[in-house]
Amino acid sequence: MAGGVTGGGSATWSDRFEQGLHPAIERFNASIGFDITLLQEDLDGSIAHARMLAQCGVISEAEADQLCGGLEQIRAEAAEGRFQPGLEDEDVHFAVERRLIALLGPVGKKLHTGRSRNDQVGTDLRLWLRRRIDELIPQVKTFQQALLRQALSHRQTLIPGYTHLQRAQPVCLAHHLLAYVEMLERDRQRLEDVRKRVNVSPLGAAALAGTPVPIDRRSTAAALGFESLYANSLDAVSDRDFAVEFSAAISLVMVHLSRLGEEVIFWASEECGFVRLSDRCATGSSLMPQKKNPDVPELVRGKCGRVFGHLQGLLTMIKGLPLAYNKDFQEDKEALFDVVSTGSQCLEAMTILMDEGLSFREDRLEAAVAADFSNATDVADYLVARQVPFREAYQIVGSVVKQCLSEGLLLRDLSLDRWQSFHPAIESDLYDALAPRQVVAARTSEGGTGFDRVQEQLSAWSERLDLANG
């Protein structure tokens, strides 16, 4: 194997080693194939470390300038596609250091003073994840805005509300969509909260015990934008709680996307027919020319499994690890990279779906809410308003529904005489109370689906999400 950072026959390692790794073990051990993703963060962390070493008098300002210049040259080479580390570099950290030594000679060997790959990789990973969180939070907001635009267009539209996937009560479609806006707001808050625990610097904890080199950890933390630093060096290099927390937060994002996706799949079915899918977000069948398939929500629903799997994998990976650093931690990166990628792609796809991939069929929705017994509770409420105890009213309406089902009638089809045979308090104004639009409008409790309450929420969310026309 080619000489690594130290230039010896054992490549990367000290002269304690006389032979290089077995080729198969070299491949098994290497992470350069995926942790090259952390290159920019590794360069940022190394530049901050070099500047701090000079500030503390460990190296000269001239040497720091050389190191930073070399690191920026590597950044430029990477941008031009000329930095192509291979398997012999093992990981991104050694790849950078090896190239730096090739560029600068002995000065390049001073960069690693006062740090270890253990605190280095922890720093890189936190910097990388912090940037990704800062990209994901606006993505969640963008999806909320797409949902809100649909809600604003359907503030007077009705849709059947379900419990147990059985028709329950009609609701305002805007109210239904705003439920997802609320879920996603919790997702945004979780990501913002996780970011606080990501934004803690482990740099300077070295391998596990700190370093006798007179470094200034607070200087590098400030230079890299960390809000605080780990108080315990053992914890600093072995903490991956933030990776689990982040994966859990994205898992909940995926849950919410999948729940909405399941509803879209249901709404788009011929049996339901509440939405039409546009050609922009649907595919056809290779065999059946009439079909239009809801691939976007189906894929989102399916991709939940990989995100959930990464969360479980991270938990399993860290559950039995003794302090401090263990090679097992190499397994955190591919999981985190894929959680970020999958979550971001699904948010983007669902935003496009909501903005231009579907349209609600108001005629089908109107017909649906008018042709069921989802107004039965309103008969009970009507009787309660006339001093009939609720449980008695509940039993009366159950009898009415049973009779209607046996005769193939809806509640609205019964004559006033028939109604009064069930209870004399019923009068002709019951028919107005049974109208689906009135059923919805009557739900005026705070947080309810009544049109006035929904309008309050539309206005509030329009302000919070920076949308006009609330």
Q: Are strands 358-360 and 275-277 parallel, antiparallel or unpaired?
A: antiparallel
Residues 360, 399 within the same domain: no
pLDDT for 200 equals 98
Q: Which of 304, 333, 367 is the last residue of a domain?
A: 367
In this structure, the answer to whether residues 55 and 172 fall within a common structural domain is no
Mark whether 341 and 417 lie in a shared domain: no
- Residues 363, 406 share a domain: no
3-state secondary structure of 270: coil
165 and 89 part of one domain: no
Task: Kindly give, in sequence order, each residue whose CB lies less than 8 Å from that of residue 397, ignoring residues fewer than 6 positions away.
Answer: 376, 377, 379, 380, 383
**The pLDDT of residue 470:** 66
Which alpha helices (DSSP H) does 199-329 contain, by range? 217-223, 233-238, 241-268, 295-318
Compute the average pLDDT of residues 51-60. Answer: 98
The pLDDT confidence band at residue 2, using thresholds 50, 70 and 90, is: very low
Is residue 1 a part of any domain in this protein? no
Rounded distance between C-alpha atoms, residue 53 and residue 58, angstroms: 5
Check whether 273 has a pLDDT greater than 90.
yes
For the chain, what percent of residues have pLDDT higher than 70?
A: 96
- Tell me, what's the pLDDT at 285? 78
Q: Which two tokens stand for residue 452?
A: 């006035």
48 has pLDDT over 50: yes
Residue 12 pLDDT > 80: no
Task: Give the CATH number for residue 435.
Answer: 1.10.40.30
Cα angle value 355/361/367 (rounded, 5°): 150
Strand 166-172 to 158-163 pairing = antiparallel
Name the nearest CA neighbour of 104 among 142, 149, 65, 143: 65
Q: In the listed set 113, 147, 174, which residue is the last one of a domain according to the structure?
A: 113
- Domain CATH for 312: 1.20.200.10
Q: Are residues 41 and 127 in the same domain?
A: no
Number of domains in the chain: 3
Which whole number is the average pLDDT over 317-344?
A: 97
- On whether both 251 and 355 belong to a single domain, the answer is yes
Assess whether 264 and 138 both reside in one domain. yes
pLDDT at 9 over 80: no
Alpha carbon 190 to its chain centroid, in Å, reads 9
- Which among 367, 382, 412 is the end of a domain? 367
- Residue 380: give the domain boundaries: 371-464
CA distance 452 to 402: 33
How far is Cα 244 from Cα 294, in angstroms, rounded to an integer? 31
Q: Which residues are catalytic?
A: 164, 285
Residues 102 and 173 both lie in one domain:
no
Mean pLDDT of 289-299: 91
What are 451-455's contacts with CB under 8 Å, separation 24+? 451/155, 451/156, 451/172, 454/155, 454/172, 454/174, 454/175, 454/178, 455/155
Query: Do 382 and 295 fall within a single domain?
Result: no
